[in-house]
Amino acid sequence: MRELLISLGEGEGELTGRLVRALRAAVRSGRLAAGERLPASRVLAVELGVSRGVVVEAYEQLAAEGYLVGRQGSGTRVAAGVAGGPAAVPARVAPAEVRYDLKPGSPDLGAFPRTAWAGAVRRALQGAANRDLGYGDPAGLPQLRGELAAYLGRVRAVAAPPERVVVTSGVGQGLALLLQVLARRGRGPIAVEDPGSPGTLELLRAHGVEPLGVPVDQEGLVVDALAASGARTVLVTPAHQYPTGVVLSARRRTELAGWARAGGLVVEDDYDAEFRYDREPLGAVQGLAPERTVYLGSLSKTLAPGLRLGWAVLPSPLAEDFRRAKQYADLGTGAIDQLAFAALLQSGGYDRHLRTVRPRYRARCQALAEALRTHLPQAELQGVAAGLHLYADLPDGLDERAVAAAALRRGVRVATVAPGRTAGSVGRPALALGYAGLAEQRLREAAALLGEAVREVLNPAG
């Protein structure tokens, strides 16, 4: 038996009639289910502030109508067969089972260093001052900002004074906050790599920005096209471009830094920077033009997206406005996760985790690439040996959506590239294939099924 949350209303007739209508409606809607026990008449009378006789009379009326039944020793209950509820939802076709998820966007979640993280949380809580658990600086705890500044300077060659580091809830929030800051300054058009991330395009459009596409070639973003676009802000993924997998060349980095120093603003999403398998990764573009670059990073590809922990390094003219936007957004990111990550950085646990997973991802990258060459020779693999996904160009004229649908029928989920193109942009059909979450043998199985899917689309009658 539970509270009924019955309202008798006002000015709608005498009390008994109002209670009858309220109870009848509750039964018809399904809010009172068949067999459910109603409160005793004395209890409901007290709750509603009416006499017991009003409740007894209402129960008797509804029993006579067949809505309620009363049994000695079991109280008054809702009769069977009269409860309604929401209209039946038409049956949907069951989605295909995903046995091989090749959609990019996540690391191997099974590799999350649970023991190391639990130890970092324990050390952080043991050493935390009471004030660390209160409302602190919305830009983040000084412990983490200091560790991040040192780490990013050492590993990514980022010029990151702690006072210009802001802890965010991932790159998505960092970009959203930056859009707010730029909007107040009259941001103008924003350029993006084309093709790029569908999620980024959706985020920009949700904030009222229709992005300008700038083409990407084998050297990365075409800076001459950027200069011709008229945009004064550009969002780039130079370490491992999504989805093509190319790395911004040294020549283009110099050109991009020059464009920025001439009055542009670079927003650098350091996507996949931690994973380069054939050589050392290049340093961040931010180091070439720190006063004209907003640098964004997160733990979503290295530890787990569910942590919702990231950072932004701001040019000094934007730092205070960005901090204020963060304050008004959520008052700051959770303190315990900040303390834990600071402890993991300080102890070297984060570096050890990356050293552990790099060989695993390298092996998976190689296994998928080799299997695709065997089972899908029509595809051309692009990009460098890095990151957590491969880019596969499909034969001209092939419908990438049809391929994705045929693959899904076989239990293989892939990402098409067309949703990451800007308005009016066209390009060769292609797929982005994530490999982080599957072992080598399962990647080979997925590649074989993907090859079947392409052959089905190429030869529908066969």
Taking only the tens place, the pLDDT of each residue in 28-61 is: 888 888 888 888 888 888 888 889 999 999 999 9
Question: Is residue 7 in a domain?
Answer: no
Same structural domain for residues 443 and 312? no
CATH number of the domain bearing residue 30 = 1.10.10.10
Question: Is residue 73 in a domain?
Answer: yes
Q: Which stretch of 142-151, 270-279, 348-357 has the lowest confidence by average pLDDT?
A: 270-279
Q: Quick check: 168 pLDDT over 80? A: yes
Proportion of the chain above pLDDT 70, given as a percent: 95
Sign of CA dihedral 414, 416, 417, 422: negative
Question: Is residue 88 in a domain?
Answer: no
Same structural domain for residues 311 and 454? no
Global pTM reads 0.81
Q: Residues 93, 405: contact at Cβ < 8 Å?
A: no
Question: Is residue 10 in a domain?
Answer: no
Same structural domain for residues 392 and 275? no
Number of domains in the chain: 3
CA distance 362 to 91: 43
Mean pLDDT calculated for residue range 352-381: 96
CATH number of the domain bearing residue 393 = 3.90.1150.10
DSSP 3-state of 166:
strand
Q: Quick check: 4 pLDDT over 70? A: no
Amino acid identity for residue 234 in this structure: V
Proportion of the chain above pLDDT 90, given as a percent: 78
Question: Is residue 2 in a domain?
Answer: no
Q: Quick check: 184 pLDDT over 60? A: yes
pLDDT score at 96: 66
Residue 3's CB is within 10 A of a number of other CB atoms, namely 9
Helices 114-127, 349-375: crossing angle, 10 deg rounding: 160
Question: Is residue 399 in a domain?
Answer: yes
Same structural domain for residues 294 and 154? yes
Same structural domain for residues 321 and 409? no
Mean pLDDT calculated for residue range 192-207: 96
Same structural domain for residues 380 and 343? no
DSSP 3-state of 165:
strand
pLDDT score at 88: 40
DSSP 3-state of 380:
strand
**Closest Cα to residue 300, out of 308, 291, 288?**
308
Q: Quick check: 89 pLDDT over 50? A: no
Decide which of 59 and 5 is more confident.
59
Same structural domain for residues 206 and 138? yes
CA distance 175 to 92: 37
Same structural domain for residues 301 and 405? no
What is the band of 379 on the pLDDT scale with cuts at 50, 70, 90?
very high
Question: Is residue 85 in a domain?
Answer: no
Same structural domain for residues 121 and 217? yes
pLDDT score at 81: 81
What is the band of 87 on the pLDDT scale with cuts at 50, 70, 90?
very low
Strand order in the sheet with 415-416: 380-382, 389-393, 430-434, 415-416
- 244-299 pLDDT per residue, tens: 999 999 999 999 999 999 999 999 999 999 999 988 888 999 999 999 999 999 99
Q: Is 441 exposed, middle or buried (0-12, 13-18, 19+ CB in 10 A)?
A: exposed
Mean pLDDT calculated for residue range 294-309: 97
Q: Any idea which residue has 């693959």 for tokens?
A: 407
What is the band of 13 on the pLDDT scale with cuts at 50, 70, 90?
low
Q: Output the CA–CA distances (angstroms, integers) from residue 30 to 42, 82, 300, in the order listed.
A: 24, 9, 43
Same structural domain for residues 143 and 127? yes
pLDDT score at 269: 97
Domain housing 23: 15-78
pLDDT score at 90: 44
Q: Residues 21, 29: contact at Cβ < 8 Å?
A: no
CA distance 211 to 180: 15
- Last-in-domain residue among 322, 350, 378: 350
Q: Quick check: 95 pLDDT over 80? A: no
Q: Quick check: 1 pLDDT over 60? A: no
Question: Is residue 6 in a domain?
Answer: no
Same structural domain for residues 340 and 356? no
pLDDT score at 462: 59
Same structural domain for residues 183 and 154? yes
Decide which of 25 and 353 is more confident.
353
- Last-in-domain residue among 316, 332, 350: 350
Mean pLDDT calculated for residue range 366-394: 95
What is the band of 91 on the pLDDT scale with cuts at 50, 70, 90?
very low
Give me the DSSP letters along 227-287: HHH--SEEEE--SS-TTT-----HHHHHHHHHHHHTT-EEEEE-TTTT-BSSSPPPPPGGG
Mean pLDDT calculated for residue range 409-435: 94
CATH number of the domain bearing residue 166 = 3.40.640.10
Mean pLDDT calculated for residue range 317-339: 97
